[in-house]
Structure 1
Amino acid sequence: MRLVHGSTLAIALALLVPAFVGAQGQGDSSRAVAGGGISAAGWTGKIDANAAKAGQTIKDAKLSEEGNVLHVTTGPAVTYWNPANKAAGDYTVSATFTEPKYMNLNDHPHPYGVFIAGNDMGTDQQSDLYCAAYGNGTFIVRGFGPEPFRMNGRSGESDAVHKAAGPGQPVTQTIALSVKGDKVECAINGTVVASYNKSELVTAGKLKSTDGVYGIRFSHNTEGTVADLKLTKP
């Protein structure tokens, strides 16, 4: 292998930098949303710890409400909730998410979905579990306990998850998390895509309980609407 010296090395490194940045993707750095903050009455939120350490705040993402539809634009990855929204025992939390222009704020898919089992919300001990869909037909089940933990890796696949026709095209997903006896299930567009024993989730380093606050979760640099967020009891 030929060694590169002096100015030739500098030129080579300069050429490599943009290639590396492109491989990482412009969507990997959290943007700041102009006019950000929370204007939906009764709602609050918390950005992920890595974004907070980088100096970002909840005002770098935006949550607004028109009628019964929430509009989210991120910014840093964020969890939003209304403290009055609590669930216990057996229940289902569901909502319909629309990404009106798939990947309009990023160069690769980012997920969004519902969360349940929220405890110590807004603190560094916050714990919760979320199921989220990507517009490319994959999904993720993940939580905080308070450190992040994954239940299905990064990209579970299911034919139930809708795929956008392409960048800039709309895609809609109805996502539900259910507690049923000793099971916790995620269903996307009416199909159960993941199921876990409650004992796998309510354990050291994960959830404190499946009872708790529920709400919504959006990854960074993503825009979408949330309709019909609701709690259903059996």
Structure 2
Amino acid sequence: GPAAIYWNPANVARGNYTVQATFAQSKASAHPEAYGLLIAGNNLEATNQSYLYFVVRQDGKYLINHRANDSTVHKIVDWTAHSAVKAMDAAGKAANALAVVVGPDALSFRVNGTEVKAIPRSVIDAGGLNSGTAGIAGIRVNHNLDVHIDGFAVTPAK
């Protein structure tokens, strides 16, 4: 199907929190397509939608970007290989558990329990992205993927 973001307006996160889900790609796509989490979502039904997204793809790479509106995307971390990201196997399958942990000082981006990147919260909150970390959390899935999602949760820090 087409690329899309999925969210429930009740899944608003503020302060310190964790967003997580497990993604199971059940067959290979024609070329690497991404799937993962979105946080700090605002105006998600409008052309000025804004959100931060953390995605992986079948070749074992991850990406972190901020979508500012329909025409502006801020690259935060370009496609980067990491051993924590499971690439698809010979059958075209891969499963990856993703989490974004928003702490008092940094955002920790994790794949299968391993931190692949930490970004100071000040970079997101005041780094010219006009994003911040408060907003709706959800899922982003590119087109032409067969991905099953389990365990999506938004959990406030204790």
TM norm structure 2: 0.91
- 5+ residue gaps, structure 2: none
Work out whether 1:149 is the aligned partner of 2:56. no
Deviation track 1:20-52 (CA, whole Å, cap 9, x = no partner) reads: xxxxxxxxxxxxxxxxxxxxxxxxxxxxxxxxx
Structure 2 counterpart of 1:80: 6
Matched residue type, 2:45: G
**Identity across the alignment (%):** 31
Q: Which has the larger radius of gyration?
A: 1
Separation of aligned partners in 2, 1:228 and 1:142: 23
| Pairing partner for 1:161 from 72, 85, 108 | 85
Matched residue type, 2:92: Q
Q: CA contact under 8 A between 2:52 and 2:131: conserved in structure 1?
A: no
CA distance change for structure 1 residues 220 and 205 in 2, over 3 Å: closer, same or farther? farther
Separation of aligned partners in 2, 1:121 and 1:164: 31
Q: How many residues were matched structurally?
A: 155
| Pairing partner for 2:129 from 206, 210, 217 | 206
Work out whether 1:181 is the aligned partner of 2:107. no
- 5+ residue gaps, structure 1: 1-73
Q: Please identify runs of 4+ aligned residues in structure 1 that moved more than 2 A.
A: 202-209
- Between stretches 199-208 and 84-93, larger displacement belongs to 199-208
- Between stretches 139-148 and 197-206, larger displacement belongs to 197-206
Indicate the structure with greater strand content: 2
Separation of aligned partners in 2, 1:207 and 1:216: 21
User: Does the residue aligned with 1:152 lie in a helix, a strand or coil?
Assistant: strand
Deviation track 1:171-221 (CA, whole Å, cap 9, x = no partner) reads: 100001111012112100000111111222234752432011000001122
Separation of aligned partners in 1, 2:59 and 2:155: 28
Q: CA contact under 8 A between 2:64 and 2:77: conserved in structure 1?
A: yes
Deviation track 1:114-135 (CA, whole Å, cap 9, x = no partner) reads: 1111112211221111111112
User: Does the residue aligned with 1:196 lie in a helix, a strand or coil?
Assistant: strand
Considering Cα pairs closer than 8 Å and 6+ residues apart, tell me whether 1 or 2 has the greater RCO: 2
User: Does the residue aligned with 1:125 lie in a helix, a strand or coil?
Assistant: coil
